[in-house]
Structure 1
Amino acid sequence: MDIVAACEKNWDHWKHDCSGFVNAVTTDLGIPITGTANQMMDDLNVPGSGWTVLGNDPQKAQDYANKGYLVIAGTKAKSHGHVVIIVPVSHAVKYPYGYWGQYGGTGMKNERITKAWRPEDLPTVQYFARQIP
């Protein structure tokens, strides 16, 4: 299953839960990651976890997604962090496109991640990539 197909398959059920959405997509792709968004962010940062830390580089994140890698964007927060699956696009972009659920709201699908975070939060978004088995 490819990344966009996994996102489409799971979005309706998980559009109100970002971490549930990421867990469902990553499970379908054979790389399950569980927990809350904050816990996921901690797990993605563990050395030797298999994830490549891309830092706060949206262009690099989009490049990895365009090459077929599973890319997760995320932030930690005091109460609820936020995680997003980055998807490939066929055109140049300043910020990546992705799918996400949203706690207390409704996420979006195949939208620029500038809609997932407030503008002032975008510099804190971290990106992680991993090859799909």
Structure 2
Amino acid sequence: MPGIGLMDPDPEGLASAAARFDLHLLEVEDAYKGYQPAKLERYGDTMFVVPRPASHDDRRESVHFGEVHLSVGPQIVITVRHDAVPDLSAGRDALEAEPLGLGSPDPHPQVLIPSPSPVRHGARVSG
């Protein structure tokens, strides 16, 4: 499954990805603006997910909340970030290593979300 990662995209780059993969105008607008609350929305056959992952800085004794925008369609995963936190490399490696069934005929594919620990959390996606 192809994946595209965009970091601080310019309007033209995001518009190009939106046109290529038929993304809904509202999810493109939200991904470009950033500063969205955590949410899960469906636009046709695409799920738009905004998790707000937290990371703790032991030295500063502070918590930083990141923001990731995910557009997950039958054949593509697009991530948009406006901050280097969180590091998405573990998630990208998992997507490249394991077929997740997101493009399968199964209407309820098993989506595996990598976590910092060796445990994987599963979530059933239903329509």
Q: Same fold (TM over 0.5)?
A: no
State the structure with more CA Rg.
2
Specify which structure has the bigger relative contact order, considering alpha-carbon pairs within 8 angstroms and separated by 6 or more residues.
Answer: 1
By percentage of residues, which structure has more strand? 2
TM-score, length of structure 2 as denominator length: 0.35
TM-score, length of structure 1 as denominator length: 0.34
